[in-house]
Amino acid sequence: MRLRKKWWARPEMAADDKAIIEPFDKKGTWHEIFGNDHPIHLELGCGKGQFIATLAKKNPHINYIAIDLKDEVLVFVLRKINELGLTNVRLIPMFIERVDEVFAEGEIEKIYINFCNPWPKASHNKRRLTHPRFLTKYKGFIKPHTEVWFKTDDDELFEASLSYFEEEGFQETYRTFDLGASGFTENIQTEYEEKFSSFGVKIKFGIFSWKGDA
Ligand SMILES: C[S@@+](CC[C@H](N)C(=O)[O-])C[C@H]1O[C@@H](n2cnc3c(N)ncnc32)[C@H](O)[C@@H]1O
C-alpha cells in the first residue's frame, strides 16, 4: 500500500486519545485505558480499517486494538471510528515486531491477521506475521483458548502457515481454501479482500486456537 507521506497525520493522531502514540509503557494497563473489563481483541496490520470499524460497531462489548506501521492509513481509521462514534477501538502506530513489549500475559483474547505481506523469498519468511518467530511473541500475551483468525490470498503463505501454527501448538479449528464459497457466515471483508475477490482470487482462511502452556 503506497501512500504519500502526510505530515499532518501524526499530529492529528496525537491529539486524539484513541490513538496510542506511546504504547510501550501501557503493558498491563489496557483494560484501564478502555475503562472496562471487556475482552480485548487485536488486529495486526489493519490497513485502512474497514474490518476493525465494522467489527467494533457490531460488538460494542468487545474492545479492539488495531496496529499498523503507517500513520498515513491509521489517520483514516481514526476518522472512520470517530464518524461512527466508536469508543471501543484504540489504534497503535508501531512495528508489529515489538508487539510483545506492549501487552502483558493474558491481556489479549483474540488476534486477527488479514492479508499480511507473504514475504515469498525464503530468506524473508521469518518476517511473516504467522511465522513461529511471531507466534512465540503472541503466546506471551494471549489468554489460553485464544483464537487467531488468519486470512490471505496467498496459497504458499497459507500452506506454510498451517505448519507454523501446528509447530507452535495451535490447534486448527477451521480451514477453508475458498472463504467466499465456504458458507462461513461471520466473515467481514477487508479492503484487500474486496480487491482480490473482485479479481476472482480465492481467499484462504483458518482459525487456530492456542490451548495455553501445559
Ligand atoms: C497488505 S496490507 C493489508 C491491510 C488490511 N489488513 C486489509 O486486509 O485490507 C498490510 C498492512 O500491514 C501493515 N504492515 C505490514 N508489515 C507491518 C509491520 N511489520 N508492522 C506493522 N504494520 C505492518 C502495512 O502498513 C499494511 O497497512
Residue 114 near ligand 1, beta carbon < 6 Å: yes
**8 A C-beta contact, residue 20 and residue 63:** no
> Which residues, 6+ apart, have CB-to-CB distance to 111 below 8 Å?
41, 42, 43, 44, 138, 142, 146, 147, 148, 149
Residue 47 near ligand 1, beta carbon < 6 Å: yes
DSSP string of 129-161, one letter each residue: TTSHHHHHHHHTTEEEEEEEEEEES-HHHHHHH
Residue 171 near ligand 1, beta carbon < 6 Å: no
How far away, in angstroms, is 68 Cα from ligand 1 center?
A: 6
Return the ligand 1 atom nearest residue 73 CA. Answer: 27
Q: Give 123-149 pLDDT, tens digit per residue.
A: 999 999 999 999 999 999 999 999 999
How far away, in angstroms, is 214 Cα from ligand 1 center?
A: 32
Q: Give 148-191 pLDDT, tens digit per residue.
A: 999 999 999 999 999 999 999 999 999 999 999 999 999 999 99
Cα of 131 vs its chain's centroid, Å: 14
pLDDT-derived band of residue 214, with 50, 70 and 90 as boundaries?
A: low
How far away, in angstroms, is 91 Cα from ligand 1 center?
A: 13
How far away, in angstroms, is 46 Cα from ligand 1 center?
A: 6
Residue 163 near ligand 1, beta carbon < 6 Å: no
Average model confidence (pLDDT) across the chain: 96
Length in residues, the chain? 214
pLDDT at 36 over 70: yes
Mutual orientation of helices 132-139 and 155-167 as an angle, nearest 10°?
A: 50
pLDDT-derived band of residue 26, with 50, 70 and 90 as boundaries?
A: very high
Residue 68 near ligand 1, beta carbon < 6 Å: yes
Q: In the chain, what are the domains?
A: 26-210 (3.40.50.150)
Phi and psi at 40, nearest 5°, equal -110, 125
Q: Parallel, antiparallel, or unpaired: how do β-strands 170-176 and 204-210 relate?
A: antiparallel
Residue 115 near ligand 1, beta carbon < 6 Å: yes
Residue 70 near ligand 1, beta carbon < 6 Å: yes
Q: Give 45-77 pLDDT, tens digit per residue.
A: 999 999 999 999 999 999 999 999 999 999 999
